[in-house]
Amino acid sequence: MKMKLMGLFVFLLIAGIVTGVLIKNESAETEPNYKDKKYKEIGVNVTDMGVLPNDGVDRTELFQSILDNNRHIIVPKGVYTISSGKYRNGDGKVWWGLKVPSNTHIHFEDGAILRFKDNMPSWSRALAIYKVRNVEITGHFEIDGNSNSVTKGNEHMANLHIESSKNVYIQSVYSHDSYGDNIFVGGTEADPSENVRMDYVKGVRAGRKNYVIHYVNNLYVKRAILDNSKGNAEKGWTGANSMDLEPDNYSGATQFYQRFDYVSTYGKGNDFTVGTSSQNAKNWILDIGTLDVHRMASNNTSPDNVIYSNAITAKIDKLNIFVPKGENAVPIKLLYSAKWDIEKLTIKGGQKYGISLQYAAKEKPTLVVKDLKMNDVNGYGVRNEGGDVFISKFTARNVSDRVLQNYSTSSESEVSIDRLLAYDSGVSELVKVSSYLTNPVKMNIESLKVIDNRPAKAARLIYIETGAAAAGVTIGEIDNPSKIKEFAYANGLANKHKPAK
Report CA-CA distances (Å) from 112 to 14, 19, 142, 172: 27, 22, 6, 12
- According to the model, what pLDDT value does residue 266 have? 98
CA-angle at 367, arms to 458 and 219, nearest 5°: 140
- Under a CB-based contact definition with an 8 Å cutoff, are residues 461 and 480 in contact? yes
Architecture of domain 1-228: 3 Solenoid (2.160)
Say what the pLDDT of residue 412 is.
Answer: 79
Domain coordinates of the chain in residue numbers? 1-228, 269-501
Could you tell me whether strands 166-178 and 133-144 are parallel, antiparallel, or unpaired per DSSP bridges?
parallel
Cα(256)–Cα(460) distance, integer angstroms:
47
Instruction: Tell me the torsion sign for CA atoms 59, 47, 185, 293.
Output: negative
- Consecutive H or E run containing 2: helix 2-19
Cα 493 from Cα 53, distance rounded (Å): 79
Residue stretches of the chain with pLDDT short of 50 = 1-36
At 75, which helix (H) or strand (E)? strand 72-75
Which spans in 20-165 are helix H?
Answer: 37-42, 60-69, 85-89
Query: What is the model's pLDDT at position 492?
Result: 78
Q: Give rounded-to-5 percent helix, strand, coil for the chain.
A: 15, 50, 35
* φ, ψ dihedrals at 85, nearest 5°: -60, -35
- pLDDT, residue 303, reads 84
Quote the pLDDT of residue 259. Answer: 98
Q: H-helix or E-strand containing 282?
A: helix 278-283
Contact indicator for 481, 456 with CB cutoff of 8 Å? no
| Cβ-based burial of 483 (10 A; exposed 0-12, middle 13-18, buried ≥19) | exposed
What gap in Å lies between CA 26 and CA 4, rounded to an integer? 13
Q: Provide the whole-model pTM.
A: 0.91
> Rg of the chain's alpha carbons, rounded to an integer?
26
Which pLDDT value is given to residue 374? 98
Distance CA 355, CA 342 (A): 13
Q: Tell me, what's the pLDDT at 41?
A: 61
For every residue of 194-238, DSSP letters joined together read EEEEEEEEEEEEESS-SEEE-SEEEEEEEEEEEE-TT--GGGTS-
**Please, are residues 201 and 224 in contact by the beta-carbon 8 Å criterion?**
yes
pLDDT at position 301: 83
CA 365, CA 359: separation in Å to the nearest integer?
7
Interatomic CA distance for residues 145 and 120, integer angstroms: 9
Distances (CA, A) of 36 to 43, 47, 213, 489: 11, 18, 36, 78
495 three-state secondary structure: helix
Give 102's DSSP letter: T
